[in-house]
Every structure is written in structure tokens, then in C-alpha cells.
Amino acid sequence: MEYYLVVKQIHILTAVLSLLGFCLRAWWSTKNSPLLNHRVVKILPHINDTILLSAAIYLSVTSHLYPFVYGWIGAKVILLFVYIISGAIAIKYGKTKRMKQGALLVALISIISIFAFAIYRPVF
């Protein structure tokens, strides 16, 4: 528990950076920007998300709050998979503009829900 608060702040910061980076890449995707293909843009989100996930695992283990034991954490894990899949469709794999827009909406709803579960920790 010695580093809990520091790791929690890192987790929050990387979560916000992940959301902002996703929104920026989604916007670039709609504009067909060449920036989307820049090497840093392809690598940096993976580094950030690795730190984010590592911090989440550390926090879960040190606080004994495990997915599917506590419903709100399990919901965050499921929504994370929805976010990853829909985000990939929105930015990279969507075949049509409508498909990309729909996937973007699903991704944003998922990430907002993840943030809400983290803040309010509903019991179910």
C-alpha cells in the first residue's frame, strides 16, 4: 500500500491521456490526416495503455478489489474490451463512414461508463 496513491494518480492520468489520445486519433481518422500514420502516434498509445493496465492491476491486487468479485470492476473490464474493439473499428477497421461513426459512439459511451464506474463504484 506504500505506493497506492502514487499509482492511483498514474492510473487516473494515463486514463485521461488514453481518452484524449483516442479522441484526437478519431478526429484525425475522420479528416484522413497523415498524422494518424506517424510512428509516434502508432507507438505512444500502446505505451500509455500498458502503464494504465499495469497500474490497474497493481491497484486491484493491493486493494483486494478483484473483477467479478466486485461488480463495478467486472463491468469496467467488460467495457474495456468493448472500448478496444469499437475504438479499433472507429479509427482503423471501419469500412464506411457510418460504421466508423457508430463505433466511435459505442467507444465513447464505453469509456465514459468506465470513468463513471470508477468514480461512483455502484453496488450490483
Q: How many domains does the chain have?
A: 1
Q: For residue 12, is pLDDT > 90? A: yes
Using CA atoms, how far residue 73 sits from 15, 43, 53, 105, 106, in Å, is 15, 27, 13, 22, 19
Contact between residue 115 and residue 15 where contact means Cβ atoms under 8 Å apart: yes
- Give the model's pLDDT for residue 1: 66
Give the predicted TM-score (pTM) of the model: 0.91
**Considering the chain, what percentage of its residues have pLDDT values greater than 90?**
95
**Cell numbers for 86:** 469499437
pLDDT digits (tens, 9 = 90+) for 115-124: 999 999 998 7
pLDDT digits (tens, 9 = 90+) for 61-82: 999 999 989 999 999 999 999 9
Domain holding 102, by residue range, is 4-120
**Cell numbers for 85:** 474493439
